[in-house]
Amino acid sequence: MTNNPKRRPGFRYPSRLHAKPATAILLSPQRLSLSATCYSLLGGPANITRHLNHWFSTTGGWVTRCSIINTDFFDESDIVRYCWSATSMKAVYGHTLYEP
C-alpha cells in the first residue's frame, strides 16, 4: 500500500472508527469534529444506531469531549440521553473530566 498524500483519511466501516484512533482522540486536549455517515449498497443511508450508542455511551470518553450538533436516528439511538448525561457531568466536574 502506498502513501498517497491526496487521499483523505477516513473509514469505510463504522466499526473501524473506534478501533485505532480512539486513544489519540480521547487523550487529545482539543475539541474535535466528527462526521459519521454510512451508506448501503443501494446508495441510501445505513442505520448506524448501534455504533452511535457504542461511541457515545456514558461509559466511554467521547460523549464529554464532543458537541453533537446534528444526528439521524434520534428515535432509535440513546444519543439524547447520553448528551444529557454528558452535559450534567461537564456541569458538575468541569475540566477535571479531562485530567489523566
Average pLDDT over residues 48-62: 81
Tell me which residue of 35, 30, 75 sits closest to 55, measured CA to CA. 35
- 3-state SS assignment for residue 6: coil
Could you tell me the residue ranges of all domains in the chain? 53-100
pLDDT digits (tens, 9 = 90+) for 66-83: 777 666 777 778 888 888
Measured between alpha carbons, how far apart are the two ends of the chain, in Å? 36
54 or 3: which leads in pLDDT: 54
CB contact at 8 A, 45 and 19: no
Tell me which residue of 8, 5, 13 sits closest to 37, measured CA to CA. 13
Chain centroid offset of residue 81 CA: 15
What pLDDT sits at residue 55? 81
pLDDT digits (tens, 9 = 90+) for 1-36: 444 444 444 445 555 555 544 555 555 555 556 667
Give the CA diameter of the chain: 47
